[in-house]
């Protein structure tokens, strides 16, 4: 099985799919999920499951290991690697903790940490069951950006216990990637760790997703002749990905009252009394109440929710030349085959590799961390996130190298409705995004060494 088969699945933390879709009733019901040709889906899933189990179990269980990076073939080598030689680096680090970057792997080591509360589409399965996902994340860090990772699964029922665990082990690492932690606890956990640690802390389900969505959306709006500042945007799903996406789009210029974020109770609006602080921060001042209301006349739909939640009628009610990001996996909020029958003027993206315009987090997190680690950034701030957006956005405008066409078995690929975001196997990402992120870290004052010294 191809180690990168996982690139066909988008790794996000979505809002649960029981949503009030537009019926003006006192007892709203979630839309039933339907699957075209379920038998073929079942056969495909069974085959994939068999391959995945074989891949994870053989020839050696798991996907990652530890490699020795120094000579260890002689007695002298071992005397340097361990006692007595190791004592001198210990003394240097004790005198100056920053020397850990010079004498250990701290500067290129990221912890991928979860509590297992929101693992892919499987929900709260606990830390141990989430371990294959964390190992997979480590594979992507290493393969795409040569970053070493340890996966860490924490059994913690309360956010504070999780925070305290991460705080205690953080000195070992150059960065912390939070993964598959359910909303709203993920917001509290990330903010607390950012405030208390002097290394980058990044919840990829929030910010990685938001960055890729923003880069693709800006390009799609450009092609459609629209602007982010004037676009009316619907975001279906108010979990980690949805709320972070709204926040970033507002930072980039979207107007708060032009964004309608929809959760299980309908549109998140300022008159609701059930909102936590994170949802209140994205609430719109509007009389609209349902997803159907929000979709009417909308320029953009971003779905981070569940399958088949957008009807053809909703899509038909959108403004001319709409942009539709239906990111639920494996079944989108509306399937491209359905959407294209309803509208011939839309640009569409999904979380799947078998359709054009895959919105995939692997375009972001390896390279964002690479740039942050290269300058020993103390955090991944808003400027660095925007730099990543702009790097991805601009790269899609450039001619596509022949090796990318070969990797995807394509004869041609150019900026347009079917190519709004770079492909994950584009080798230019490895230089372009880290360089932009590192420069933003330097310019915003969170870098501790100049990029040229990395």
What tens digit of pLDDT does each residue of 274-294 get? 999 999 999 999 999 999 999
278 is catalytic: no
pLDDT for 85-106, tens place per residue?
999 999 999 999 999 999 999 9
Whole-model pTM?
0.90
pLDDT tens-digit map of 167-200: 999 999 999 999 999 999 999 999 999 999 999 9
Q: Using CA atoms, how far apart are residues 265 and 347, in angstroms rounded to an integer? A: 28
C-beta atoms surrounding 146 within 10 Å: 11
Which listed residue (137, 226, 279, 423) is catalytic? Answer: 137
- For β-strands 175-178 and 148-153, DSSP reports them as unpaired
At residue 450 the predicted structure's pLDDT band, cuts being 50, 70 and 90, is: confident
Domain boundaries, the chain: 364-453
pLDDT digits (tens, 9 = 90+) for 69-82: 999 999 999 999 99
Q: Given a cut of 70, is residue 3 above it in pLDDT?
A: no
Considering the candidates 55, 82, 103, 341, report the single residue annotated as catalytic: 82
Three-state secondary structure of 209-247: HHHHHHHHHHHHHHHCCCCCCCCCEEEECCCHHHHHHHH
Task: Specify whether 55 is catalytic.
Answer: no
């Amino acid at each position: 099985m191809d180690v990168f088969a996982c690139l066909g699945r988008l790794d996000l933390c979505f809002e649960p799919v029981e949503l009030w879709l537009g019926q003006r009733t006192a007892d709203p019901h979630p839309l039933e999920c339907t699957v075209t040709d379920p038998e073929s889906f079942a056969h495909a899933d069974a085959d994939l499951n068999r391959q995945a189990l074989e891949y994870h179990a053989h020839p050696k269980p798991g996907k990652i290991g530890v490699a020795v990076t120094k000579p260890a073939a002689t007695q002298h080598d071992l005397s340097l690697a361990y006692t007595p030689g190791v004592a001198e680096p210990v003394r240097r680090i004790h005198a100056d903790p920053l020397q850990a970057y010079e004498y250990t792997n701290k500067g290129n080591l990221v912890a991928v940490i979860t509590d297992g509360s929101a693992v892919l589409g499987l929900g709260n399965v606990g830390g141990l069951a989430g371990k294959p996902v964390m190992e997979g994340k480590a594979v992507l860090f290493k393969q795409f950006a040569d970053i070493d990772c340890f996966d860490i699964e924490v059994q913690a029922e309360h956010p504070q216990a999780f925070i305290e665990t991460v705080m205690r082990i953080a000195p070992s690492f150059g960065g912390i990637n939070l993964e598959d932690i359910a909303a709203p606890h993920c917001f509290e956990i990330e903010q607390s760790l950012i405030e208390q640690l002097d290394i980058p802390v990044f919840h990829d389900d929030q910010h990685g997703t938001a960055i890729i969505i923003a880069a693709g959306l800006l390009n799609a709006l450009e092609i459609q002749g629209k602007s982010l500042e004037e676009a009316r945007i619907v975001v279906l799903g108010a979990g980690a990905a949805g709320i972070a996406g709204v926040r970033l789009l507002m930072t980039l210029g979207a107007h708060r009252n032009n964004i309608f974020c929809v959760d299980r109770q309908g549109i998140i609006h300022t008159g609701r009394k059930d909102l936590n602080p994170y949802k209140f921060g994205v609430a719109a001042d509007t009389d609209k109440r349902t997803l159907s209301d929000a979709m009417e006349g909308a320029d953009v739909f971003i779905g981070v929710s569940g399958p088949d939640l957008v009807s053809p009628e909703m899509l038909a009610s959108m403004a001319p030349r709409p942009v539709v990001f239906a990111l639920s996996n494996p079944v989108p909020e509306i399937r491209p085959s359905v959407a294209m029958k309803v509208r011939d003027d839309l640009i569409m993206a999904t979380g799947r590799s078998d359709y054009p315009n895959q919105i995939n987090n692997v375009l972001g997190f390896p390279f964002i961390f690479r740039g942050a680690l290269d300058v020993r950034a103390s955090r991944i701030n808003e400027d660095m996130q925007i730099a990543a957006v702009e790097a991805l956005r601009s790269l899609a405008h450039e001619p596509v190298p022949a090796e990318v066409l070969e990797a995807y078995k394509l004869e041609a690929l150019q900026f347009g409705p079917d190519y709004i975001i770079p492909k994950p196997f584009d080798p230019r990402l490895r230089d372009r995004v880290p360089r932009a992120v590192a420069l933003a870290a330097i310019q915003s004052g969170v870098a501790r060494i100049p990029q040229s010294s990395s």
